[in-house]
Amino acid sequence: MLTVEEAGRVFTDPTAYADDERFHAACALLRREAPVHRVEVEGFNPFWAITKHADVMEIERQHDLWLNEPRPILGPAVSDEQQRQMNMTIRTLISIDAPDHPLMRAITADWFLPKSLSRLDDRIAELAKRYVDLMADLGGECDFMPDVAAKYPLYVILSILGLPEDDFPLIMKLTQELFGASDPDMQRGATPEEAFATIQEFFQYFLAVTEDRRANPTEDLASVIANATLHGEPLTIFDAFGYYLIIATAGHDTTSSSIAGGLHALLQFPDQLERLRKDPSLVTPAIDEMIRWVSPVKQFMRTNLTGDYVLRGQTIPKGEAVLLSYASANRDEEVFGDAGTFDVGRTPNKHVAFGFGAHYCLGAQLARMEGRAFYNELIPRLESIELAGDPAYIQTLFVGGPKHLPIRYKIS
Ligand code: HEM
């Protein structure tokens, strides 16, 4: 029998996220028996695991009490210190709070509004077609994650930033090293110094982009960032870098994981694939269900810097941090009927996979558009599909989804 203590350790164990059944069994136990649970594991600074949907929202809603600084993402204790030091120089939207957060967010917020994004409809549909055509060219068999899903959102986001296609493979490699840092297959190296080398390589790349866009501004998002101001001064090179980094990285591994994890779910629930084929209008709710199901961003953290906080009778002392488990909240039986069933018609779908409140995902509409464009292209052309091997999921503490999804299919 799994104990509450054991269940709490899934959040510090990268292999747990690669094992859906084990992970969700642990979260279900925590939601039932210890929804506000203090986790103490060697090698990690202690934190409180928040596993209920209502509690994630309660904390995120109060962004004046619960701060992203200084520990926005759970990692081993050594990386907490690194995060703290790095966040003091390279600030990203995720690592900062008011008063600068809303000002920094406003720099690009208009770009991500549905009205502005609608001008990208044709470009995204064209890219979706390119990748479904690629599936056809691959001759009826591929590893869907690396061959298709990982590339398509990267093309979308880097096209928006305005970066040249020749650079896409480099950015893909660096992002995967950064986000896949807990997976032995993806690591650049085992030491924190080696992981830091990835950041430095990113920095050199975006430094050149900033210099170029400051000298020759264009209409792209990279120019908006390079030429933005904060408190009347141009963004520091470090703030500009933090901005590129968050957009370039947050914009694709997440979306590709939901597209690939969504396809895996359609294979596990073939009746849902059949429903989609019969009624293409279900693609819209299906995309949100895929995002709920996969919850590619597993967690963010908040730190209680203002005073003791009581949640469900537990006192979280001032100075301690909470882990908001989006992956668990999105299976909360109190919010989702049949939470463990993949239902392409689920409406409403109040998932918190994009977070909530002041830091709500800037790219949520873009991610939905990308998913819709892809499945609107794929579903009508798909004659048959089946697994051609065992899928494998990324070992991670933060962002993840399928690493391998071997499929066999007929496509027109
Ligand atoms: C399915 C895909 C995606 C998921 C599940 C996802 C999830 C999230 C989550 C959970 C947060 C933190 C929210 C919070 O703290 O309340 C976030 C923030 C963010 N996301 Fe996404 N995201 C996705 C796609 C994208 C895309 C395509 C972009 C494009 C640029 C993007 C850009 C951002 C940015 C810039 C932030 C920081 C916002 C802030 O702190 O103010 N994301 N995302």
Q: What is the pLDDT of residue 251?
A: 85
Res. 83 pLDDT band, cuts 50 70 90: confident
Which segment of 194-198, 216-220, 293-297, 300-304 scores lowest on mean pLDDT?
194-198
User: Could you read off the pLDDT of 145-168 as tens digits, one per residue?
Assistant: 999 999 999 989 988 899 998 998
Report whether pLDDT(409) > 90: yes
Separation of alpha carbons 331 and 221, rounded Å: 35
- Ligand 1 centroid distance, CA of 370 (Å): 14
User: Could you read off the pLDDT of 253-265 as tens digits, one per residue?
Assistant: 899 999 999 999 9
Separation of alpha carbons 187 and 177, rounded Å: 6
- Say if CB 173 and CB 187 are below 8 A apart: no
**The total number of residues written for the chain in this structure:** 412
Mean of the per-residue pLDDT values of the chain = 94
Separation of alpha carbons 177 and 188, rounded Å: 6
Q: Name the CA radius of gyration of the chain, rounded.
A: 21
Average pLDDT over residues 73-83: 88
168 to each of 18, 111, 214, how far by Cα in Å? 27, 21, 21
Residue to probe by mutation, ligand 1, list 116, 225, 288, 354, most atoms within 8 Å of CB? 354
Residue to probe by mutation, ligand 1, list 103, 152, 361, 374, most atoms within 8 Å of CB? 361
Report whether pLDDT(404) > 90: yes
Instruction: Indicate which residue's Cα is closest to atom 43 of ligand 1.
Output: 361
Report whether pLDDT(191) > 80: no
Average pLDDT over residues 347-375: 98
- Ligand 1 centroid distance, CA of 250 (Å): 6
Res. 206 pLDDT band, cuts 50 70 90: very high
User: Could you read off the pLDDT of 13-39 as tens digits, one per residue?
Assistant: 999 999 999 999 999 999 999 999 999
Task: State which H helix or E strand residue 12 sits in.
Answer: none
Output 77 or 196, whichever has higher pLDDT: 77
Average pLDDT over residues 285-292: 98
Average pLDDT over residues 375-397: 97
Report whether pLDDT(189) > 60: no
- Say if CB 243 and CB 222 are below 8 A apart: no
Separation of alpha carbons 9 and 46, rounded Å: 11
Instruction: Indicate which residue's Cα is closest to atom 1 of ligand 1.
Output: 255
Which segment of 84-93, 265-274, 282-291, 344-353 scores lowest on mean pLDDT?
84-93
7 to each of 37, 142, 314, how far by Cα in Å? 10, 35, 18
Report whether pLDDT(99) > 90: yes
- Ligand 1 centroid distance, CA of 312 (Å): 28
- Say if CB 103 and CB 115 are below 8 A apart: no
Report whether pLDDT(70) > 80: yes
The rounded percent of the chain whose pLDDT value lies above 70 is 97
Q: What is the pLDDT of residue 193?
A: 77
- Helix H, strand E, coil C: the string for 186-235 is CCCCCCHHHHHHHHHHHHHHHHHHHHHHHHCCCCCHHHHHHCCEECCEEC
- Tokens matching residue 177: 């090293």
| Contact residues of ligand 1, CB 6 A cut-off | 60, 93-94, 105, 157, 246-247, 250-251, 254-255, 258, 291, 296-297, 300, 326, 353-357, 359-363, 366-367
Report whether pLDDT(2) > 90: yes
Q: What is the pLDDT of residue 390?
A: 98
Res. 137 pLDDT band, cuts 50 70 90: very high
Separation of alpha carbons 243 and 105, rounded Å: 9
Separation of alpha carbons 118 and 204, rounded Å: 32
Burial (0-12, 13-18, 19+ Cβ within 10 Å), 115: exposed
**Residues paired with residue 311 on neighbouring β-strands, in sequence order:** 314
